[in-house]
Every structure is written in structure tokens, then in C-alpha cells.
Amino acid sequence: MTTDAVRALLTDEQFADLKAAVLARVAPKEWMTREEAADYMGMSPQNLDLLRKDGGGPEFSTFGRLIRYNKAKLDQWGASNNHEHAAAASVAKAGGAK
């Protein structure tokens, strides 16, 4: 069913409520559990745990005994850990492809 077909069946208010509910379920939350954060970052929760314990992972916060990851901090950590492929780095260092 298309968006237009759904819109035709609902009032504007119902459609807005449905759209907000769908977006809330698919959009990343501001604060995530370790499982959600690991999934968001494309790694296993165990790998995220190891990074946290070794001090090399993304920044996290504790709320009592709960560990939570902030989406903005995950994005920042991911961007700062973006490594260029070795072959591309060699080409760039040599002055570009010929």
C-alpha cells in the first residue's frame, strides 16, 4: 500500500500520529542500550563490551547500573575511527593515481 493510499484512508491527524509512531520505531534513539548501540555501529555487543573495558570504544554513560550510549557520541567515535584503505593511502601519498 502506498503512502497516498494510506493517507486517503486516514484523517490528517491519524496520518500524522501513524507517521510519528513509525519514525519513532525506525529512527535511532538518542540513548541506546549496548545491544542497540552495537547494532547501530555494525558490531557485536561483545566487541562493544571489549572496547568499553579496554578504553578504546565510544563514550558511554551510566545511569545507576545501566550503561547507555548516546547516538551523537557513537557517530563522533565512528567518524574519528574511519581508517583509509592502505592501497588508497599509498596512492594518495605517492601523489595520486597515474
Domain boundaries, given as residue ranges, for the chain:
3-80
Average pLDDT of the chain is 85
pTM (two decimals):
0.59
- pLDDT tens for residues 7-51? 889 899 998 888 877 766 766 689 999 999 999 999 999 999 999
Task: Report whether 28 contacts 71 (CB < 8 A).
Answer: yes
CA dist., res. 14 & res. 59, Å (int): 39
Q: Identify the three-state secondary structure at position 27.
A: coil
